[in-house]
Structure 1
Amino acid sequence: MDMGNGSEAGTSGGEPSAIDYDVFLSFRGPDTRQGFTDCLYHKMLEANICVFLDEDKLHVGEEIDELLAAIQKSKIYIPIFSKGYASSAWCLRELAHMVDCKKSKPSEKEIMPIFYDVKPRDVKLKSQRYVSALEEHEEKCGRQTRLKWEDALKSVAQIKGWELKKQGHWKFIQSVLQEIVMKLKTKDKYVTEHLVGMDNPVEAVLKLLDMDSGDLRFVLIHGMGGIGKTTLAKMVFNKLNSLFNQCCFLGNVRELSTSFGIINLQKQLLSDTLGLGFQDQINDVDDGIKVIYSDFLTRKSCSF
């Protein structure tokens, strides 16, 4: 991110050296901080994604080390290319380090660029928009640094990313968030890998649900105990959860309702789908029914 005059950096919690991040946002503050980047950042937090964003002041002389450490500990890098991105030496340092980390651990790191108010051709240096900024950097940082930054820009510009174009921020951010959640698998339930004979049942349930229909559907999976009903439900949940803003998987319903009561299941459902504040609104089962009916069913959510 562009540090501006205050040389600030921060996180969604803790010090960069102590946390592994899901996402590192690289952006030029004056261009997008107060609008697009701030909205994207908070939507990621709501989705329980651990994201690095500049908030707290770093110690003088430690800015670069802490930023590089945060990049190294992140899984997904999202450079937000704006008109002034290349004018920031901070942004270009970050981008070059992202490319280096990706090269050293290609299976563990991913770069997902956003072309905010520029086109990929601008980042590929096929226009003067970024070239002029690089020429100015060369005077201060030298030829070798400029070439390294040029290579980083051209490399990332080849990656298929998102172009904001004329669509609204909200719809655009939702599509970005959906892709990130799918990559990170943050909502997925644990299922033993390489299960044999589950592909056909999963496809059968997906066909019954018919996600393109736009209808509200209930699918009953029944059978004797121990044949894999819960595993099947989890696998279907993992296939579909990235399509929804909020999701909830309620397992062992009979046992939990007997031991802890229906109200605790209602609270889990509301907490997972609407946030912690909603579960505080219910004191008994009737309250839960009313809140679920009025708030949960009017939103795009899924429950298993």
Structure 2
Amino acid sequence: MMQRSVIPVFYNIDASVVRHQTENYEQAFEKHQIDFVGEMEKVNKWRLALTEVAHIWGKHISGKRSEADIINEIVDRIVHELNPKTLDVAKYLVGLDSRVKELTTLLRSGTEGVTRIGIYGMGGVGKTTLAKAVYNQNYCNFDGSCC
């Protein structure tokens, strides 16, 4: 069976309405029961699917932000989950976490514009590995990135 990611979006509606098929959902299912008289199994599968998806953590959206901002946020999340741009870094490196944390703090210092950080030292001490680890942890916080 193929694995699929599901990110439910509840736009100006409470998930409990979807979960319990009340309000407009109740009316729609009453119509489906008429339209699909001989296919109640299909209608029941739809009901079950909506119940299940309403239990998944989703995005609850009220009308306070523009639809464009909401769509951009959802697309960014999907792209991040489906197409991570991470670089290959060895799994068990000693002392890397504290250095990554320091550089991450510098990157999140609130400065605007282009951020550049120089890493220098003699060959073989892990400059490239550090740069890759910092990139992996922070690339999604920026509009654009490359390494």
TM-score, with normalisation over the residues of structure 2? 0.81
Deviation of residue 229 (structure 1)?
0.8
Deviation of residue 155 (structure 1)?
0.8
Deviation of residue 157 (structure 1)?
0.7
Q: Deviations over 1:2-60 (max 9, x none)?
A: xxxxxxxxxxxxxxxxxxxxxxxxxxxxxxxxxxxxxxxxxxxxxxxxxxxxxxxxxxx
- The one of 8, 16, 20 aligned to 1:125: 20
Partner of 1:273: none
Partners of 1:235 and 1:145 lie apart in 2 by: 48
Unmatched segments (≥5 aa) in structure 2: none
1:142 is matched by which residue type in structure 2? E
Q: Confirm or deny that 1:246 pairs with 2:144.
A: yes
Q: How does 1:40-51 map to 2 (within 5 A)?
A: none
Partners of 1:194 and 1:149 lie apart in 2 by: 46
**Larger fraction in strand:** 1
Q: Confirm or deny that 1:198 pairs with 2:96.
A: yes
Partners of 1:117 and 1:151 lie apart in 2 by: 22
Partners of 2:87 and 2:26 lie apart in 1 by: 46
Deviation of residue 174 (structure 1)?
2.5
Deviation of residue 120 (structure 1)?
1.3
SS at match of 1:246: coil
Partners of 2:83 and 2:126 lie apart in 1 by: 22
Deviation of residue 185 (structure 1)?
4.5
RMSD: 2.3
Q: Deviations over 1:263-285 (max 9, x none)?
A: xxxxxxxxxxxxxxxxxxxxxxx
Q: How does 1:47-196 map to 2 (within 5 A)?
A: 72=2, 108-139=3-34, 140=36, 141-166=38-63, 167-196=65-94
- Check conservation: 1:123, 1:153, Cα contact below 8 A: yes
Partner of 1:232: 130
Deviation of residue 110 (structure 1)?
2.4
1:129 is matched by which residue type in structure 2? N
1:186 is matched by which residue type in structure 2? P
Q: Deviations over 1:108-152 (max 9, x none)?
A: 542111123433122113522112212222331533222221111
2:66 is matched by which residue type in structure 1? G
Partners of 1:173 and 1:230 lie apart in 2 by: 35
SS at match of 1:127: coil
Count of residues in correspondence between the two structures: 143
Partners of 1:181 and 1:193 lie apart in 2 by: 24
- The one of 205, 208, 215 aligned to 2:106: 208
- Check conservation: 2:8, 2:59, Cα contact below 8 A: yes
Q: Deviations over 1:146-186 (max 9, x none)?
A: 22211110111111211332110222122213322332343
Are residues 204 and 187 of structure 1, via their aligned partners in 2, closer, same or farther at CA, if it must alter by over 3 Å?
A: same
If asked which structure has higher relative contact order (CA below 8 Å, sep 6+), I would say 2
Q: Deviations over 1:33-89 (max 9, x none)?
A: xxxxxxxxxxxxxxxxxxxxxxxxxxxxxxxxxxxx9xx4xxxxxxxxxxxxxxxxx
